[in-house]
A and B are shown apart, each in its own frame.
Chain A
Amino acid sequence: MATPETNRPAQPGTGHRLPINVDLLAIGLGLTLAALVRFGVIHQITF
């Protein structure tokens, strides 16, 4: 039977995990950067 998630050993290469939601962090940073570009705080970025 399945063991509870909290009792699992760490997966190779991943280690333990912080309670930081990467997806929501990416969305938050993305929308913030978009707002900064939209309102002229960041402008004329080239690559």
Chain B
Amino acid sequence: MSTQTIPMPIAADSPSSFAAPPDVTAPLKPASLPAFLPGIALLFTIGLLGKLLEHAFTVLSTEHHLRLPQISYVLWAILLGLMVSNFLGVARIFRPGIATYELWLKLGIVLVGARFLLQDVLHIGGLSLVLVAVELALSLSVMTVLGRIFRLPPKLTSLLAIGSSICGVTAIMAAQGAIDPDEEDTSTAIAAILTLGAIALVTFPAIGHSLHLGQQAYGMWAGLAVDNTAESVATGALYGQDAGRWAILAKTARSSFIGFVVLGYAVYWASRGQAAHVRNKPLFLWQKFPKFILGFLAISVLATAGFFTKGQLNSLASLSQWVFLPAFAGVGLRTNMKDLVGQGWRPLAVGILGEMFIAIITLGLVFWSYNHGVAR
């Protein structure tokens, strides 16, 4: 997670802007900051509607004894976003604001630092770092081998390996400037990673329940195995509130490696004369480091130092959940099924096989650490 700028708003001047899939080839014009407001309003509306639907289903089940499925607000928000983007279409006027889902996601992660004492962050975060290091080495190797077996372009293989081992789309975007891939390779890798994230939203909670995983173990697994930060947080939250926050901790530990992996690939492709040389490596690492993690740590330090009362900590945790609502809505809104199925079968096959491997390996690592008392 190191994308550090908000996409510039697109001028909403076209009356024919109600097309379902975003027209990525359309020329983009700068617009004023108020252009963000419609999309932000849409994100919050969908998120709040998800929360209301969860409440309504609970009330109908308990007070009127109706047999309704208990669907969490996380899933409602994602499903409503998916329905809007795929069936109704997202008007051009909403798109700049929808892109701010990343801000709400990062703000939620910063605020959720209030739920972690620093010793928990150091213990579980430290364990996550070890698990991430193992996961990184294995997933990068496996994705590279799979890319060669399926004869993918080498840079597309690099992008898929980076995206699946670190933090999805953001890692791919970070690598884009460093290894100079073709535009098509970048688009394909992003589409594959988003597809795999959507699959994880459905499969991970089901697997977690069938294996009777605890909240912490499941959250660690979701944080270690699901690529994109938004999907990772959502996959954790779908299992439970505690699982959601442990997924955030594991995911932030994983994201902190982004600079090192991208730097490694940049050096590799530069040595082959197919990318620019990185002159200042420490600066490169700092530029790629996801700095919102520092905010998460700052709130955690303040919480540990007793800066907040227990009631205030609960308020901050609640605030983080409110802020996550638009982020979850954004996950659904930016997922376009037509884009996902139109990417060709080979990158997706490499992604699915690689992700299955990563999911199994990380599940094994989490099981091992919990059965040997490494985690608590």
Contacts and interface: CB of A to CB of B under 8 A. Distances in A.
A33 B108 CA distance: 11
B7 A17 contact: yes
B20 interface: no
Contacts of B299: 30-31, 34
B334 A26 contact: no
Contact of B28 (A10, A29, A33): A10
A26 B180 contact: no
Contact of A14 (B7, B109, B111, B295): B7
Contacts of A8: 177
Interface residues of B, number: 57
B263 to A, nearest CB: 14
Given A10-B28, A27-B295, A22 B114 contact: no
A37 B315 contact: yes
B84 interface: no
Contacts of B271: none
Contact of A11 (B176, B294, B314, B318): B176
Interface string B1-30: 011111111100000000000101000101
A34 B302 contact: yes
Q: How would you classify the secondary structure of chain B's contact residues: helix, strand, loop or mixed?
A: helix
Interface stretch (B60-68, B182-190, B208-216, B346-354): B182-190
A11 to B, nearest CB: 6
Contacts of B2: 23
B312 interface: yes
A26 B106 contact: yes
Contacts of B111: 30, 33-34
B110 interface: yes
Contacts of A23: 2, 4, 106, 290-292, 295
Interface residues of A, number: 37
Nearest to A42: B315
B275 interface: yes
Nearest to B336: A13
A42 to B, nearest CB: 7
A33 B295 CA distance: 12
Contact of A13 (B5, B24, B103, B180): B24
Nearest to B334: A13
A16 B8 contact: yes
Interface of B: 2-10, 22, 24, 28, 30, 96, 99, 102-103, 106-107, 109-111, 113-114, 173, 176-177, 180, 183, 186-187, 190, 273-276, 290-292, 294-295, 298-299, 302, 307-308, 311-312, 314-319, 321-322, 334
Interface of A: 1-3, 5, 8-27, 29-31, 33-34, 37-38, 42-47
19 contacts: A3-B180, A11-B183, A13-B22, A13-B24, A14-B173, A15-B96, A15-B99, A18-B6, A18-B8, A21-B4, A22-B3, A23-B106, A23-B295, A26-B109, A34-B308, A37-B316, A43-B315, A44-B315, A47-B317
Given A26-B106, A37-B312, 15 more contacts: A9-B183, A11-B186, A11-B190, A12-B183, A13-B190, A16-B30, A18-B6, A21-B5, A23-B2, A27-B110, A30-B111, A30-B295, A38-B307, A43-B312, A46-B318
